[in-house]
Structure 1
Amino acid sequence: MIDAERIEKNLEGISFPRLSGTEHEQQASKLIIQKIEELGLNPEIQKFSFTTFYPRVYKKLAFCSIWWLLVVFFLYINIIFILINIVILSIIFVPLIIITRHPEDISLGEKYQSENVCIKLDAKVPNHTAEKSNKIQFLLLSHKDSKCQKLTITFRSINTKVWIYSFIIIVALLILKYFFISNIIFNLIIACILLLNLISTVLILVNTTNNKSPGAIDNGSGVSLVLELLHHFNKIENRLTSIDLWFIFTGAEENGTMGIRYLYRKHKQEWHHQTTRYLNFDSIGTHLDVFAVKNKGEHTSLFKLFADLSEELDPSYYIKYFIFALNRSDGYYLKNKNYKGIGFADKKAYKYIHSPKDTVDKVDHSFLAQFGRVLITLLEEYDKKISKPYS
């Protein structure tokens, strides 16, 4: 069963700065591989390269360019000046928009190395002789890298909202300026909001990334939990009857979710949308927040089953018909690929992550153990449910 002391030990072992693409992230990979091999398993290791252009350069260029375009429309020197700026920005950004649809393929900037580590445990009876393409699979996801940024995540969240709201207001005011109102006071109001948007843009620019966060919450918690689940299900007597389990530790998640992008590309032929579910564990401290998209049918039964089993955890739920996230995660990436699943985090702990304060003492390993026991029951009960037609 789940061992809280082992979770604590693994959490302490993985909680050191491990920025994507550094030797420290490689050290984290070696630790995880060692833990898997100690169970007598041979993990799959997928090495890949990436650049930091997409998450650290491209987005900052976009914010700056949008602000400048707002200024151009506000000044309205003449139509030629506006058209020249639009053409220049289009020449720059149209190609960038195209290539950033698949950021894992971008080769702009220095290249770094990372790797995904995963292991698959087959069901006891391979889905009762069902065809390989019809197997039920669960992807248990956690990312092994960490990052630290100059600004706290709480401040960044507020600043991003300020930027978005000020942008919307400026666009609305510019429309009014062109068609209905045009006087000094109205222009001064627009200028003040443009200044606010500029300050927000500058803060985005100065928010640099470094390797100073121990990453205990984000995401030593997820790594230690998935390792503990692997320890449990590795025992033959604990294997599920009809569900294959994937235990996944992605690299470079904090750099535009690069790891899951490469892993999806490799396994998408066997990860069928109708029969593959994901559970993403990312930043769990002392409380549980649950994220999912409202769906009808079988996925709803999975979620309801979890809700029934997890009352002792007193989780908070964020269930919507549509989820848009400024901060990407492995689960969010798979959701956008039309996979169904559930994400787990702790929003109360967000004030510590991406900072030197993301330390082991912020994670309740006993709570992780309690959560792990609920997850085992969830998977076992779900396994019984889908196995009945074949009994």
Structure 2
Amino acid sequence: MKFDTENAYKHIENLSFPRAPGSNGEIKARDYIINAFKSFGLETEIQEFTYTTFPLSVMARLFLLFLIIMEIFIYMFYEKDPLYSVIISFIVVSLIIASTRWRKSYSKLYDVPWYPRLSWNLIGRKLKEGASKNLIFLAHYDSKSQTFPAFWRASLFSTSFLGSILLIFITLFLTLARYLNWPVPSWDKTFLFYLCLITVISLLLLQLNRSSNLSPGSLDNASGIGLLLELAETLPEEMKNTNLTFIATGAEEEGLCGAVRFMEEKEDSYDKENSYFINFDGPAAEGNIIITSSYGIPPLHTGGLLTPLAEKIVKKEGYPFTKGYIPLGAGLDQFPVASYGFPVITISSGKLFSKIIFAIHSKYDTMDLISKKALYRCGNLSYKIALDIDTYF
């Protein structure tokens, strides 16, 4: 049986309405997905969980404010006391690099008693007697809109990050040059001032970003759920040696909360040597298939055997693809899964310069963004990965 694009497309249409965490839309989507799992004959579970928005709504903003203050200090101390400027620079670099990696300990931040919320992970299973392998598909079902669409937010993050790194390393170089009595350009302080100013303005603008519930979320991430549901309906009968789990995660847009809570509670249900996770996030945008198997600075590779397997299949099928890498500024459910030591990749699609990057997290994320060709390619890739794992792993 092949991947049915039309069925997946219908699910996307049915779920294309605002679904922000805590909204009526989230509950409507929850009921639709769990009822679909039941109609497919899957064993179902609703994992209710609590979380707090404190890490995303408060701590992240405090971190940005801290960076603003530190970068102003770097500039101020450059002339008065360069040694302090160097020390602060090392602290800032260390914090920026540390912030790009997800750690299991971060889940404790979601237990603080402030800003409590409730959400649900929706789980469908098809177990095979005597199976030793586990294949887990996941996709988040919530959506959100933001003050700044994805392109502008990514641009501000990039400007802030590159500006911070340039400010730090140029400050270090110029400080070293002064101590060694090397010639220093007369415009050094002016250059550092404007570099600091651009970076600080970018960080301040990020502080203005707010979330709301205007986005229908067709691409992000009704498309991921549509693909997940089509696999959940048709893939189980193809599997002979592999247990299948399908997870629609809640509250991804508020800090990957659903994936965090799933891994906390269900880690021991899966053998790390024989369990494979595939995440879907926006797998129906026109353009290349994107296989994301690394993130953070320096890159942490999370795909294990899944990465070469997925790349082998797309090459064999003749699909254009891109190796995805997220250094900072965005989150995927892949990250908490990887922190527990499981192999995991994210399958998406798209191209760098297109209307999509202006539409994600806005009211313009509608069915107009959905490409049936891209949806089929990502679905067919996932189907073939599952068959190869079942047959050869």
Q: TM-score, normalised by structure 1?
A: 0.82
Match of 2:119 among 97, 114, 121: 114
Whether contact under 8 Å (1:17, 1:212) holds in the other structure is: yes
Which of 327, 337, 340 does residue 337 from structure 1 map onto?
A: 340
Q: Does 1:165 align with 2:162?
A: yes
Letter of the 1:47 counterpart: E
Query: Quick one: distance in 1 between partners of 2:172 and 2:200?
Result: 20
Alignment of 1:304-383 (within 5 A): 304-311=311-318, 314-318=319-323, 324-348=327-351, 349-365=356-372, 367-383=374-390
CA contact (8 A) 2:121 2:250 kept: yes
Query: Is this contact kept in 2: 1:273–1:339, CA < 8 A?
Result: yes
Which one of the candidate residues 167, 172, 176 is aligned to 1:175? 172
* Correspondence 1:265-284 to 2 at 5 A: 265-284=264-283
* Residue 12 (structure 1) shift: 1.1
Give the SS at the match of 1:247: strand
Describe the superposition over 1:104-123 as per-residue Cα deviations: whole angstroms up to 9, x where unpaired.
53425321111100111112
For residues 201 and 116 of structure 1, what CA distance do their matches in structure 2 show? Answer: 33
Structure 1 unaligned runs (5+)?
128-134, 387-391
- Please state how far the C-alpha of 1:99 moved relative to its aligned partner: 11
Task: Kindly indicate whether residue 141 of structure 2 is the aligned counterpart of residue 105 of structure 1.
Answer: no
Cα deviation, residue 218, structure 1: 0.5
Preserved CA contact (<8 Å) 1:3 1:228: yes
Q: Which among 169, 191, 196 is matched to residue 189 of structure 1?
A: 191
TM-superposed CA distance for 1:267, in Å, is: 1.0
1:40 is displaced (CA, Å) by 3.5
**1: CA distance, partners of 2:316 / 2:41:** 31
Give the conservation status (yes or no) of the 8 Å contact 2:290–2:323.
yes
Match status 1:23 vs 2:30 = no
Shift in Å, 1:173? 3.5
- Deviation, 1:147, is 1.0
SS in 2 for 1:231: helix
User: Structure 1: how far apart are the matches of 2:227 and 2:218?
Assistant: 12
- Equivalent AA in structure 2 for residue 198 of structure 1: V
Q: Structure 2: which amino acid aligns with 1:59?
A: A
* Secondary structure of the corresponding residue to residue 280 of structure 1: strand
Q: SS of the residue aligned with 1:35?
A: helix
**SS in structure 2 of the partner of residue 101 of structure 1:** helix
Change (3 A) 1:244 1:350: farther
Tell me, in whole angstroms, the C-alpha distance in 2 between the residues paired with 1:296 and 1:140: 14
CA distance in 2, matches of 1:118, 1:384: 24
What pairs with 1:201-216 in structure 2 (closer than 5 Å)? 201-216=203-218
Change (3 A) 1:170 1:259: same
**Cα distance, 1:380 vs structure 2:** 2.0
Mark the CA change 1:70 to 1:3 in structure 2 (over 3 Å): closer, same or farther: closer
- Range that drifts further, 28-37 or 334-343: 334-343
Q: Percent identity?
A: 23
Answer yes or no: is the 8 Å Cα contact 2:286–2:350 preserved in 1: no
| 1:302 matched residue in structure 2 | 309
Is contact 1:54-1:103 (8 Å) kept? no
Q: Which runs of 4+ in 1 moved over 4 A?
A: 97-100, 176-179, 181-184, 293-301
**Cα deviation digits, residues 172-195 of structure 1 (max 9, x gap):** 343355454489732222211111
Aligned partner of 1:385 in structure 2 is 392
Alpha-carbon deviation of 1:282? 0.4
Aligned pairs for 1:210-249 (under 5 A) are: 210-234=212-236, 238-249=237-248
- Three-state SS of the structure 1 residue aligned to 2:278 is strand
SS in 2 for 1:346: strand
- Is the Cα–Cα contact under 8 Å of residues 305 and 343 in structure 2 kept in the other structure? no
Pick closer, same or farther for the CA change 1:297–1:40 going to 2, 3 Å.
Answer: closer
CA distance in 1, matches of 2:54, 2:303: 38
CA RMSD across the alignment: 3.1
- CA 1:365–1:103 in 2, change beyond 3 Å: closer, same or farther? farther
Q: CA deviation at 1:381?
A: 3.2
Deviations, residues 227-274 of structure 1 (Å, cap 9, x unaligned): 01111134xxx2411111111100011111000110011111122211
**SS of residue paired to 2:72:** helix
Q: Report deviation, 1:150.
A: 0.9
